[in-house]
Structure 1
Amino acid sequence: VIVVNDTGIGISKQEQQKVFERFFQADTEVSILNQGSGIGLSIIKEFVKIQGGNIELESELGKGTRFMISLPLPILNHTEKLNLDFSQTELPATSQLKSDEALTDTDADIRTILIVEDNQDLRDYLKENLKPHYRIVEASDGKEGWQKTLANHPELIVSDISMPNMTGIELCKKIKEDKRTKHIPVILLTALTGEQDQLLGLEIGANDYLTKPFNMDILKVKIKNLLVLNRTLKNTYSKQIKMETAEIVVESHSNKLLKNILKYIEDNINNSQLSVEDLSRNVGMSRGSLYHKVLELTGLSPVEYIRSVKLDKAAALLIKSDLNISQIAYLVGFATPNYFAKSFKLKFGMQPSEYLNQYRKTETQLNSKTLEN
């Protein structure tokens, strides 16, 4: 049994039934320093239940509160001496989390979401619920959130509003005013219910708004819809490039830089190690400058643009050559056929084999109509 006592303001009988509900916060006239978000006790209760235990409370207004946790422990027939060495104060490097590392080229098909929240409990709650589906990067305030945005190029940002150093409103404004980041969708979270606060967030460019307490399932759907919409818009308004086996024709303004980039990618199309650094050196620009320019000209990041060019080339080869899918994957510079197939489906909405079958079916129908005429 674990017992925790305090001599605080206490909890009323009516509110004692609600304190374990997620996001519940008692109404009080007393100003509480560092007031939480209302999910701590909910998380504790879930952990206790997982262990097969039980948690109860006793409280009296003006005198304090007692929490009692009971956990089932097996009875041991013998005891063993346990020697612990606390001389090492740091964790081994291999055990440290890597959730804040920037995406590598091979991870680029995984959606990255940045969570900006100064409350550790709520940030952990968001991370635990979203990490099965997305790569999560964390920041504890708006200033750190801006730095993580530039370093990791997330595809969506979920941010609290009331934070130290830089508020969520200020962060959203900064994101939407910078050409490097203005395309990133932002969802704002707040405990403030006033319409004026919501209106301000939406006016500076926030894509959506949720008031605490919020339903996690609703947040997940909003995130999914914004990511799908952003991807659809990117595909719709990106520069259209027709890839031919012998040459590349750009159906837009003849931009010298874009032509040089296209030529370099085409010349190195079968290089699976082709990187943004190689490309930036070839065109004589820094990686940052190249990122901004390619994003401005194509609507895609350099990594996405390189992959798009390779996939367009692969689609042309599927139709115009006798090579099989694995051969084409290696020919256009993908390290494995499996990663090629995943990337192809992400761009064209179908597997390479389905793409080829659809083309052949369409061609057969056109030939039949021609013969009938």
Structure 2
Amino acid sequence: MRNCPICSDKELLLVVRNDKEYIRIEISDTGYGIEEKDLPHIFDRFYQIKHDDTSTGSGIGLHLVREYTKLHNGDITVSSEINIGSTFTVYIPTDLPKNNEDKYPDEEKNIISSIALLSTKEKDNKKKILVVEDNEEFRNFLTEQLSENYYVIDAIDGEQAEGLVLSEYPDLIISDLMMPKMNGIELCQRIKNNIQTSHIPFILLTAKISNESKIYAYEAGADSYISKPFSFELLSVRIKKLIEQQENRRKLFHKTIEITPSNITTTSLDEELIKKVLSFVEENINNSEYSTEDLSRDVGLSKAHLNRKLQSIVDLTPLQFIRSVRLKKAAQLLIDSQYNINEISYMVGFNTLKYFNSYFKHEFHMTPSQYREKNKE
């Protein structure tokens, strides 16, 4: 063992372990100490030691320290005595590459560049999740873990988050409850009461486990409430299910010919919007000149906002939505009426039979005559 030449005291030392040289870093405290039964678990993710006081951590700090140490091919150990304190010892090898260029051979650099480019392209295909958390350590952990499957953006409080929601329009929001400036409950209320954002699934994370807190969360419009500490697997499954539910509602719209707004929306605000949009399209079902501009004006939303909203709820642009409603109405007439196909075409706003047949086949994967024949029974 010898002193490290870059260190001013004996807290950092050069040591040899298994014939390899390491820098040893020791950090000690004079706290409660750690009981022997807890020592094997303190680096586990979300593991928390229970004390008599009310202070609690997030259970990820030491886990992150261990993971970062491993990334540097190092090791971390701990020793502790009750009512005396704990000592954490980190070992980092001295032969780490000086920079990234030393780390990768020339033949691998092109591969790394290609992967980075591919990741940028894949970002556009991933669902976008906003993480709102004032605890930097926990926020970084969630962002890092979720980034494996989602494109993640983050905010430090509700106020910053609201601005990001209105500029980034995430597919899902995960928010802590207790935060400065604007807490999670207020953020959820503002998101769910804004027609531009009311469709976005919202998950609240909190250390509060009382029924009263849960009631406040669900009254604010939260789609899910998860108490800390929790397993990351639980959060992952909840995210996956909320996104799947959203996708299933979109599929339901495309599968059925009778549109039920309550079946394809999650909030009363969205349900009312779809009812309004649907009523205006149906009122103008035989008007081939009825356009997306007309619909935007009637509904009271800009074209951009209406487009974003319909894309989020039914995965269709306003023009596609108008056409889909016309075709669904045509399908109902083919089943329930004696009008011929040409008459039905004009009744639902198509100027030519050619375009009607083409769009109908694209929507239902068969011609209008085939559809009528199939549904006679």
- Normalized against structure 2, the TM-score is what? 0.58
Aligned residue in 1 for 2:68: 47
- Residue of structure 2 equivalent to 1:254: 284
Equivalence for 1:202: 218
Q: Which of 212, 230, 248 is the aligned partner of 1:232?
A: 248
Contact 2:199–2:312, Cα closer than 8 Å, also in 1: no
Residues 168-197 of structure 1: per-residue CA shift (max 9 Å, x gap): 112112211222211111111112222221
Match of 2:127 in 1: 111
Q: How many Å apart are 1:114 and its aligned residue?
A: 0.7
- 1:99-119 per-position Cα deviation (integer Å, ceiling 9, x unaligned): xxxxx9x97654211111111
Partner of 1:17: 40
Query: Offset of 1:162 from its aligned partner?
Result: 1.6
Task: Report the Cα distance in structure 1 between the residues aligned to 2:72 and 2:253, rounded to whole angstroms.
Answer: 52
Identity of aligned residues (%): 30
The CA deviation string for residues 261-293 of structure 1, in whole angstroms up to 9 with x for no partner, is: 3799xxxxxxxxxxxxxxx9xx8xx9x844444
Distance 2:282 2:123 in 1: 30
Give the corresponding residue for 1:335.
none
For residue 199 of structure 1, report the CA deviation from its aligned partner: 2.5
CA distance in structure 2 between the partners assigned to 1:301 and 1:75 by the alignment: 51
Give RMSD over aligned pairs: 4.4
Query: Which residue of 2 is the match for residue 186 of structure 1?
Result: 202
Cα distance in structure 2, aligned partners of 1:64 and 1:49: 25
Residue 181 of structure 1: SS of its match in structure 2? coil
| Map 1:139-158 → 2, pairs under 5 A | 139-158=155-174
- For these two proteins, the number of residue pairs brought into alignment is 266
- The one-letter amino acid paired with 1:42 is H
Q: 1:304 to 1:139 in 2, by over 3 A?
A: farther
Partners of 1:190 and 1:10 lie apart in 2 by 27
Counterpart of 1:40, as a letter, is G
CA distance in 1, matches of 2:161, 2:65: 28
Match of 1:8 among 31, 35, 55: 31
Find the residue that maps to 1:56 and give its secondary structure.
Answer: strand
Q: Does the C-alpha gap of structure 1 residues 127 and 29 become closer, same or farther in structure 2, counting only changes over 3 Å?
A: same
Question: Which string of whole-angstrom CA distances, capped at 9 and with x for unpartnered residues, describes residues 206-243 of structure 1?
Answer: 11122222222232222122112223324545999xxx
**What does residue 93 of structure 1 align with?**
none
- 1:295–1:43 CA distance, 2 compared to 1 (3 A): closer
Aligned pairs for 1:1-373 (under 5 A) are 1-30=24-53, 32=55, 36-74=57-95, 109-234=125-250, 236=252, 252-254=282-284, 259-261=290-292, 289-294=302-307, 298=310, 300=312, 305=317, 308=320, 359=365
Give unpaired runs (5+ residues) of structure 2.
Answer: 1-23, 99-120, 258-279, 325-360
- Measure, in 1, the Cα distance between the counterparts of 2:126 and 2:33: 47
Q: Is the 8 A contact 1:179 1:292 kept in 2?
A: no
**Whole-angstrom CA distance in 1 between matches of 2:230 and 2:134:** 17
Q: Which amino acid aligns with 1:254?
A: N
- CA distance in structure 1 between the partners assigned to 2:123 and 2:61 by the alignment: 33
Contact 2:28 2:87 in 1 (8 A): yes
**Secondary structure of 1:13 counterpart:** coil
Q: Distance in 2 between matches of 1:71 and 1:235?
A: 53
Distance 1:162 1:176 in 2: 18
Matches of 2:144 and 2:320, distance apart in 1: 32
Alpha-carbon distance in 1 for matches of 2:32, 2:152: 38
- Normalising by structure 1, we get a TM-score of 0.58
What do the CA deviations read for 1:2-24 (whole angstroms, capped 9, x no partner)? 11122333223333333212112
Structure 1 residues 207 and 254: alpha-carbon distance in aligned structure 2, compared to 1, 3 A threshold: same
Distance 1:310 1:174, change over 3 A: closer
Provide closer, same or farther for how the CA distance between residues 147 and 225 of structure 1 changes in structure 2, counting only shifts above 3 A: same
Matched AA of 2:61: G
Q: What's the CA shift string for 1:33-58, capped at 9, x where partnerless? A: xx531101011112323433321112
Distance (Å, rounded) in 1 between the aligned partners of 2:292 and 2:312: 13
